[in-house]
Amino acid sequence: MRTQLFINGQWADPVRKGTFPVVNPATETVIHHAPAGTAEDIDAAVKAARAAFDDGPWPRMKGAERAKYLRAMAKAIRSRQDELARLEVADNGKPLPEASWDIGDAAGCFDYYAGLAEALDQQPEEAIALPDDRFTSKAVREPLGVAGAIVPWNYPLLMASWKVAPALAAGCTMVLKPSELTPLTALELGAIAQQVELPPGVLNIVTGTGPDAGAPLSSHPSVDKLAFTGSVPTGSKIMAAAARDIKKVSLELGGKSPFIVFDDADVAQAVEWIMFGIFWNQGQVCSATSRVLVQDGLYDKLLERLVQEARRIKIGNGLDDGTLLGPLVSKGQFDKVLSAVSQAQEEGATVATGGRAAGGFAAGYFMEPTVLVDVPLDSAAWNEEIFGPVVCVRRFSDEGEAVRLANDSIFGLGAAVMSTDSERAERVAAALRAGIVWINCSQPTFTEAPWGGYKQSGIGRELGHWGLDNYLETKQITRYVSDAPWGWYIK
Ligand code: NAI
Ligand code: MG
């Protein structure tokens, strides 16, 4: 486990020599002391990224050249898949098969953007038809500059990769600030950058808290673009900081994603996808299926089956065989989720199952899979992101009501609809105000497809070619080709 920051291609102690504890949420033990970066370290990292962008080879290379580095990074991640997955489990708590999936996806993300970096060479410019034949014009895409990435703890290496891979593919340089709750795998990305001999300063990694390291990164005048994933209040602060210098921003924020189940759906399949939507990663997922709307005819049957299956989920240390639900990431998150459930009860909700700390553990932030019913529409539980294994289930009678309830949210990240009537499913998908709509499933995420939210769920899209656009500027180059003088002032 790394004890230093990765700045300008080298490992360095934080200027103030501070550390912060890294806690394993399954055991509550301190497993490491990570380097606590502060404004001085952020400044050094931004200067390195600035120099690498302004004077270094990276933005000037062919995309195909950069692709070689990205593919090498993918390969290096894959070659350490099990080790990195175990580090993720120790840091975040998630079950090992999930962590292993994440690491595989992170490697896949580097490979995918390597392909898009190569494709940049194939379409370097777009000719623009002008109504005036004295001019020709073309548009070219260029790397945007120095990007700052601030990422959360729910998918530590994967969320970092969603930003690092497209930024590097585009030719940007980057300063990455991982969450202080899960700094371990992001620091390993520094070792991987070193191993593949990424030019110094192209990728810099500074661990530290939000206020001490995140805030100075978001307000640093030499940063051109900020990419953030996390909570709405922090997203709002980052956008405010960006506003001062008109930095470009992309924000992937919270959600309260609805799942509409019509009464022609298969109960077992519906329950499976609801569970995958709310219990995977302990429900700490921005697009988690946190509001389930079930049509009258299926409601009782579905609720009964959901409660029955939720009670069967094996809770435990993510490293134990067969664990399907690990601990929540931190004491803070554990307390927050449990208090959200108590508050829901005070507001009139009924706990159909769960709602408590899971019994039988001497330590660890383990919580029972929780199903809430009778959740008032104006309650916090129905409207706010809980970010834990807690699903609200409610009945509806017709399609119009389902769509109205689903869209009645300040968020618009994910949404899902399940029905055997494919016309109805398409109609509902079109009516849902969300950036991601799943039909007959919920949560499967593909690097090729755009990811991001409507409304307060964010700004911009990650993944796919949309993800690359976050790190590109568009330049027009217009040429005067006429032999005749312009003749306005000088006749
Ligand atoms: P957060 O949004 O505060 O943290 C995300 C990242 O932002 C971390 O790297 C953090 O260090 C950084 N950060 C915090 N304050 C900052 C500031 N002032 N300037 C710049 N960077 C800053 O989320 P946190 O505290 O980890 O969790 C709080 C709640 O946010 C969770 O309970 C959950 O509801 C929500 N959340 C949502 C996520 C999502 O993907 N939608 C991911 C993580 C948390
Ligand atoms: Mg931890």
pLDDT, block means (10 residues), the chain with 491 residues: 98 98 98 98 99 98 98 98 98 98 98 98 90 97 98 98 98 98 98 98 98 98 98 98 97 98 98 98 98 98 98 98 98 98 98 98 98 98 98 98 98 98 98 98 98 98 98 98 97 90
Quick check: is 340 in a domain?
Answer: yes
Q: Is the CB of 388 under 6 A from ligand 1?
A: no
Quick check: is 209 in a domain?
Answer: yes
Nearest atom within ligand 1 for CA of residue 332: 32
Closest ligand by atom to 162 CA: 1
- 460 Cα–ligand 2 center, Å: 29
Distances (CA, A) of 210 to 177, 218, 228, 413: 9, 10, 12, 24
Distance (Å, whole) CA 220 – CA 175: 11
User: At which residue do the structure tokens 């102690």 appear?
Assistant: 13
DSSP annotation of 279: T
pLDDT reported for residue 404: 98
Nearest atom within ligand 1 for CA of residue 329: 26
pLDDT reported for residue 400: 98
pLDDT reported for residue 125: 87
Q: Mutate which of 92, 94, 153, 179 to test ligand 1's pocket (most atoms within 8 Å of Cβ)?
A: 179
- What backbone torsions phi and psi does residue 75 show, to the nearest 5 degrees? -65, -40
Distances (CA, A) of 120 to 56, 188, 323: 19, 28, 43
**Is residue 149 helix, strand or coil?**
strand
Q: Is the CB of 150 under 6 A from ligand 1?
A: yes
- Residue 21: give its domain's CATH number: 3.40.605.10
Q: State whether the Cα torsion 382-384-387-388 is positive or negative.
A: negative
- 390 Cα–ligand 1 center, Å: 19
Residue identifier of the C-alpha nearest atom 38 of ligand 1: 230
97 lies in the same domain as 197: yes
- 339 Cα–ligand 2 center, Å: 21
Q: Is the CB of 229 under 6 A from ligand 1?
A: yes
268 lies in the same domain as 120: no
- 92 Cα–ligand 1 center, Å: 14
Distance (Å, whole) CA 277 – CA 290: 8
User: At which residue do the structure tokens 């409507």 appear?
Assistant: 454
DSSP string of 242-306, one letter each residue = HHHHT-EEEEE----EEEEE-TTS-HHHHHHHHHHHHTGGGG--TT-EEEEEEEHHHHHHHHHHH
Closest ligand by atom to 39 CA: 1
50 lies in the same domain as 72: yes
Closest ligand by atom to 20 CA: 2
Structure tokens at 71: 């593919």
pLDDT reported for residue 123: 80
Pick the last residue of a domain from 393, 411, 439: 439
Quick check: is 490 in a domain?
Answer: no
- 51 Cα–ligand 1 center, Å: 29
Distances (CA, A) of 153 to 25, 186, 210, 296, 364: 12, 10, 12, 38, 17
291 lies in the same domain as 423: yes
Quick check: is 54 in a domain?
Answer: yes
pLDDT in tens, 243-299: 999 999 999 999 999 999 999 999 999 999 999 999 999 999 999 999 999 999 999
249 lies in the same domain as 269: no
Structure tokens at 116: 């898009």
- Residue 427: give its domain's CATH number: 3.40.309.10
Closest ligand by atom to 178 CA: 1
478: β partners: 137
269 lies in the same domain as 214: no
316 lies in the same domain as 196: no
Distance (Å, whole) CA 106 – CA 247: 27
Quick check: is 418 in a domain?
Answer: yes
365 lies in the same domain as 307: yes
Question: What's the number of domains the chain is made of?
Answer: 2
pLDDT reported for residue 360: 96
User: At which residue do the structure tokens 């290379």 appear?
Assistant: 61
Closest CA to 37 of 244, 190, 247, 241: 190
152 lies in the same domain as 293: no
- 127 Cα–ligand 2 center, Å: 51
Closest CA to 53 of 165, 146, 169: 146
Quick check: is 486 in a domain?
Answer: no
130 lies in the same domain as 37: yes
Q: Is the CB of 215 under 6 A from ligand 1?
A: yes
392 lies in the same domain as 305: yes
CA 204 to mean position of chain CA atoms: 19
Residue identifier of the C-alpha nearest atom 9 of ligand 1: 179
Distances (CA, A) of 85 to 25, 51, 162, 247, 303: 15, 33, 17, 34, 34
pLDDT reported for residue 124: 72
Structure tokens at 153: 């703890």
Structural domain range at position 290: 258-439
Quick check: is 237 in a domain?
Answer: yes
Q: Is the CB of 447 under 6 A from ligand 1?
A: no
pLDDT in tens, 369-421: 999 999 999 999 999 999 999 999 999 999 999 999 999 999 999 999 999 99
CA 12 to mean position of chain CA atoms: 27
pLDDT reported for residue 389: 98
306 lies in the same domain as 425: yes
412: β partners: 454
List residues with catalytic annotation: 252, 286
Q: Is the CB of 234 under 6 A from ligand 1?
A: yes
Helices within 4-62 (DSSP H only)? 39-54
Quick check: is 483 in a domain?
Answer: no
